Each structure stands twice: as C-alpha cells, then as structure tokens.
A and B are shown apart, each in its own frame.
Chain A
Amino acid sequence: MDQWTEKLDAYLDGELSTPEMSDVQQHVRGCPACAADILSRVQMKRAVQAAATARFRPSAEFRQRVRAQIAPRSGLMPVRIWAIAAALLIIVSLVLLSGRERKMARQQVFREIADLHVSALASANPVDVVSTDRHTVKPWFQGKLPFTFNLPEVQNSEFILVGGRIAYAEQSPGAELIYQVRKHQISVFIFEDRAFQTVSDGKAQQRATFNVESWSQNDLRYFVIGDASAQDIHHLAELMRQAAQS
C-alpha cells in the first residue's frame, strides 16, 4: 500500500482538501493500478450504501409510541389540545351524567312530551276523538287507559277543547287532550305517575320553545305544554287541577 492507496478512501469519502484532491486525480489518470483500485472502492462503497441504508424500518406503531413518549406534555400541538379537550369533555359529561342523572332523565321526559305535542300538531289527524265537549271526550278514553281522570269545564274560559288521543311516553299509555287558546294549541298529557318518577313538579317553564307545567295529582302525572304564554299554560293547568280535585 503506497502513499496513494492510503489516500483513495479519503478521496472517495470527500475528506481531502482541494489541492490534495487534484493531486490524487492527477495521479490516478496516469496510474492504471490506482484507477482500478478506485473503481473497485467506489463499487464497494455504493454496494454497502445500498445494502445498509434503510434496510430496517421502524413500524408506524413504534414511531407513534416514541413520539408520544417525547411529546411536550401540553399546549403547543393543536392536535393534542383537541385530544385533551375531548378527554375533558368526556370526563365532565361523565360527572354530569352520574351527578345529574335525574335531571338528565327529567329533561329526557320533557323532550319526549314536547315531541308528542309537536307530532300531534303535525299530524293530519291530531285527535282521535273530535269534540269540544268534555262529556264526549272523557268517556272515549274508557277501556283504553288503565286510569280515569276528570276534565274541567272550559265553556266559560278562553280555552277550547279540540279533542283527545292516546299517547305513549316512557312505555306507558296516557291521555293527550288538545286545547286551543287564541290560535295556540296546548296539549295536556295525563299519565300514571309511577312511570314518571324522575319528574318533579314545576310551574310553567320554558323548555325549548315550549312552556311546560307539570305536577302530580291523584297518582297521575300531568303535563301542560304548548307555545302559548306561560300565563295561559298556567291558567289551563289550574283548571285541570281544580277539575281533578272535584
């Protein structure tokens, strides 16, 4: 191995200074042995490069594992913010669910009642028994419901009885009575109270866009719901209560 052979690797590795490089180049041009040597070394270098580079590739799962391990604990990465926010949301909703299960259930019932009211309004036949006379409507429910109830006399009030139909909520059958007041329709629902344990009494309250009043009387659960004013809803509720007492 002469002084040139020693320099060939460094030459090929790009580690020689510019003057040294031109020295080697000049020598190789006139030396067949070094030219052959250099060719063989280049081929070897390329072969090793091809054989060794990216021969082993990490799995995506492993990359993710390491990335998660070194990731900044919070803040900076938007994706992470959302992940944390989502996790918090889940935790918060879990807490709310466990803590306010009753309330959730109650809201669920009110939603159900509101849906019933809307579907009655939207129906082509909103009532199964069409009558302004409570003495016609009340008997119609006989044999259809496992309970009975009284209806108020509304002749001298601003309410008009439109009719009634059977409604189902919480897997329980009930009566739906539809009243009208100044072009507003109001539904009065009467169910057996035991199906609505989660519902507490309340004066006319705004729920969604409806006003609702609910109470329990004679083991029956009453809901008065409609887009009429809270005052109207309360007034009708009062009439219903008085009738139930008599």
Chain B
Amino acid sequence: MEVVKNREAAAAFEELAMPLFDQLYNFAHWLAQDRMEAEDLVQETYAKALRGFSSFQPGTNFRAWMYRILRNTFLTSRTGLKAATVGLDLEEVAELPAAAESPEALLIDQSQREILQAALEEIPVHYREILLLCEAEEMSYKEIAETLSIPIGTVMSRLSRARGALRDRLNKKMAA
C-alpha cells in the first residue's frame, strides 16, 4: 500500500515538475552561468523536490516551491556562495538615480540584446534572480516573496534596485 502511494506521489510529482523543466533550467543557467553547473543544479533540485514532495502542501504554489529549492541549492553551492557574498550588503546600496537618457530605446536588435544579456550576467546574483523571476518567469510579487523567502516590501525595493543596477550597467556599456 505504501509502495503504491509512493508510486502515485512520484507520478504526481513528475506531472507537476516536468513542465517546469525548461524554465528551471534557464533560471539555473542564469544563476550558475555554466552548463554543467546548471545541469547539476537542476538535477539536484528535482531529486530534493521528489524527496521532499510529501512536505509540499497541495494547493500552495508549486512553481515557487521548485524555484525556492533550486535557488537554495544554488546558494549553498560553491558558485552560489561566492556569488551571494558579493550581494550581501545589497539592500544598503544607495538608490541609483534614474538615467536621464534611457538606454532602453536602443535595445532593439540582436547585438543590443547581447549587451543586455551581458549586463544581466554582470549585475549581482540577487538582482539577477529577482529580475528573472519577475520578467522571464512573470511571477507575482507574492510568488517572488515565496521563492526568495523575503517579505513583499523587500521584493519591491530589491526589484527597484535591481532595475536601477541593470540600467546603470547598460548605460556604462553603451557609453563604452
């Protein structure tokens, strides 16, 4: 009976988790910035999530749960620890002034997309991840708060700083 239950749970998990595979991999690759590491991250995430699936509350946000596991796995990895140290005092970083001349209008073609991708890779990981969750994953502030285990107020302020940092980085790249 227990075996059957486990099997059913595993099947339910597969059904919920596999549709997220591409997104999770994209997110992992953005965080780790390396294919092998991204694969390790995703694999570990799925293994951990399957093991802990019984603790997942049905009806709550499965996607946020998966992203949280992936992110926590990343933050405890060597690359993650290194990356996170850089962003430790991020919340204290002074508000960046809104750019007078906006670089956004220029971001039309492929080469500019590459500049933006490079800028995203260069900003601290805490900014990168929140931008990815918000823009690429189109998560709500509530989902982001769940994923990052932070209050919604912090989501808003960090998102604002992340956007400012990206803008700043882009301006520097455009100027160069």
Q: Which residues of A contact B (CB under 8 A)?
A: 1, 5-6, 9-10, 13-15, 37, 40-41, 43-45, 47-58, 62-63, 65-67, 69-77
How many angstroms from the CA of A41 to the CA of B138 in the assembled complex? 15
State whether A57 touches B26 (Cβ < 8 A): yes
Which range contains the number of B residues in contact with the other chain? 35 or more
Chain B 69-97, CB within 8 Å of chain A: the 1/0 string? 00000000000000000000000000100
Q: Confirm or deny: B63 has a beta carbon within 8 angstroms of a beta carbon on chain A.
A: no
Partner of A9 from B4, B35, B42, B159 at Cβ < 8 Å: B159
Shortest Cβ-Cβ A-B pairs, 7 listed: A56-B29, A43-B104, A72-B10, A40-B102, A58-B25, A52-B136, A47-B107
Which of chain A's residues have a CB closer than 8 A to the CB of B6?
Answer: 72
**Majority-rule SS of B interface residues:** helix
A13: chain B residues at CB < 8 Å are: 134, 141, 159
From A44, A62, A65, A66, give the contact of B163 (CB < 8 A).
Answer: A44
Q: Are B7 and A72 closer than 8 Å at their CB atoms?
A: yes
* A-B CB pair tally, cutoff 8 Å: 124
Q: B131 on the interface (CB 8 Å rule)?
A: yes
- Given contacts A44-B102, A54-B22, A55-B29, list 4 more A-B pairs with CB under 8 A: A43-B105, A56-B38, A65-B43, A69-B47
Residues 22-38 (chain B) with a chain A CB within 8 angstroms:
22-23, 25-26, 29-30, 35, 38
Supposing A1-B95, A48-B116, A70-B17 touch, asked if A54 and B26 sit within 8 A by C-beta, the answer is yes
- Determine chain A's interface SS by DSSP, over half rule: helix
Measured CB to CB, the closest approach of chain B to A52, in angstroms, equals 4
Q: Bound complex: CA of A67 vs CA of B14, how far in Å?
A: 8
